[in-house]
Amino acid sequence: MTAASQALRYVNEDSQRQFMYLALIEGRKALPGCIPNPPVGCVLVRRGRVVAKGYTNPPGHMHAEAMALSLLPGPLVDVTAFVTLEPCSFHGRTPSCAEALVERKVARVYISILDPDTRNSGAGVKILERAGIEVSVGLLEDIARKDLGPYLARKDNVMAGRT
């Protein structure tokens, strides 16, 4: 049995939605301090239980995934991450969240929506998949689009106007 399938033993369709909803709630905690960055939330789940949560901190500080990962030691081969926006693929003021998830060996990642930022826009998902991490995109997408609406509508985002 793979690490991802072990992690999924405890996560059914209803609990997937519940965990992503908790991630959305975490993301709302980021406001207004995270601006101009998006208010992203992340929930880490092990054996059907939330073991860590995070949200985007002020610019230059931890993103949601980094905050949640910082709360747990060692490899996370039996952990599923629920993230409201695609993990960043690039190193800016902070390191790549996609690379951090790979380094910690997270088994699976659920993402509400892809990041329209032209520096990312699917690249975070590719990093995760190349590392063998199972990725699902679109969970509670409608709610995430409402929460992230101002970020998605920014003119410097490729998907502006699609919100």
Select from 161, 153, 110 the least CA-distant residue to 134.
110
CB 56 within 8 Å of CB 27: yes
Q: Give CATH for domain 3-148.
A: 3.40.140.10
Distances (CA, A) of 141 to 60, 69, 77, 153: 27, 23, 26, 15
What residues have CB less than 8 Å from 151, skipping those under 6 apart? 37, 38, 39, 85, 157
pTM: 0.89
Among the options 65, 86, 99, 134, which is catalytic?
A: 65
Select from 18, 74, 72 the least CA-distant residue to 48.
18
Supply the mean pLDDT for the chain: 89
pLDDT at residue 61 is higher than 70: yes
Where are the chain's structural domains? 3-148
First-to-last alpha carbon distance for the chain, in angstroms, is 39
Model confidence band, residue 31 (pLDDT cutoffs 50, 70, 90) = very high
**The pLDDT of residue 158:** 46
The DSSP 8-state label assigned to residue 125 in this structure reads H
Each residue of 88-117: pLDDT tens digit? Answer: 998 888 889 999 999 999 999 999 999 988
Chain position carrying tokens 């999924």: 8
Distances (CA, A) of 53 to 34, 58, 131, 159: 16, 16, 23, 28
Active site includes 13?
no
Mean pLDDT of 66-94: 94
Select from 43, 38, 39, 37 the least CA-distant residue to 23.
43
